[in-house]
Chain A
């Protein structure tokens, strides 16, 4: 049982490049989330999907787009990367609104 799988684990981009972070869960969870983690700031919600077919903005959505491809997969896209997007990105899933979140191991992104 893999849980939440994120790819890639590491990525270096130049300013202006684009990329997609992939996330898949095998727990049949309804809700999926994308967070970014920066030192001293905890985790901040970028986008979430409460159920298949829906997506909503979180606290820091600017510069990002998401796609809930199916119940298993939730991708995060950076259309034009900026140095301010250097961060560690975590995908998470949960069965419902009060269930605990299950996290992937993160993607460490550096934008130069």
Chain B
């Protein structure tokens, strides 16, 4: 069975500082990895995905993620955090099948 772990319930960072939201996964076969963001009372919005190719993936709003096969990780990063980045972030994984499995989510708090 596939699974995703987001080990931090909450990440606090000061505005302008770099941020990292951690994600590790377990899946058989080649992984397809995704990051989504959720703002209050809204559905999830797609940020970026890794299917194949370069290990560093760039996405929306200045976010990027690094795929590390040996560590089975796909951490979300941003060089300089904004207050408006405060939200709930979800990592997700799937293989060639149709079921996408989500992690439990990490709340990012960016303080001015």
Contacts and interface: CB of A to CB of B under 8 A. Distances in A.
A103 B98 contact: no
B98 A97 contact: yes
Interface of A: 4, 31, 33, 35, 40-45, 48, 50, 56, 58-59, 90, 92, 97-98, 100-106
Given A42-B90, A42-B104, A43-B90, A101 B44 contact: yes
A102 B32 contact: no
Contacts of B36: 101
Contacts, number: 59
A101 B46 contact: yes
B45 interface: yes
A98 B44 contact: no
Interface of B: 4, 9, 32, 34, 36, 41-46, 49, 51, 90, 94, 96-105
B32 A103 contact: no
Nearest to A102: B46
B104 A106 contact: no
A102 B100 CA distance: 13
Contacts of A33: 100
Nearest to A4: B43
Given A44-B102, A100-B46, 19 more contacts: A40-B104, A42-B4, A42-B103, A45-B99, A45-B101, A48-B99, A56-B98, A90-B43, A97-B94, A97-B97, A98-B94, A100-B49, A101-B34, A101-B36, A101-B100, A102-B46, A103-B43, A103-B44, A105-B42
A45 B9 CA distance: 21
A31 B43 contact: no
A71 to B, nearest CB: 16
A92 B34 contact: no
B51 A98 contact: yes
A42 B102 contact: yes
Contacts of B102: 35, 42-44
Contacts of A44: 102
Contact of A92 (B9, B41, B43): B43
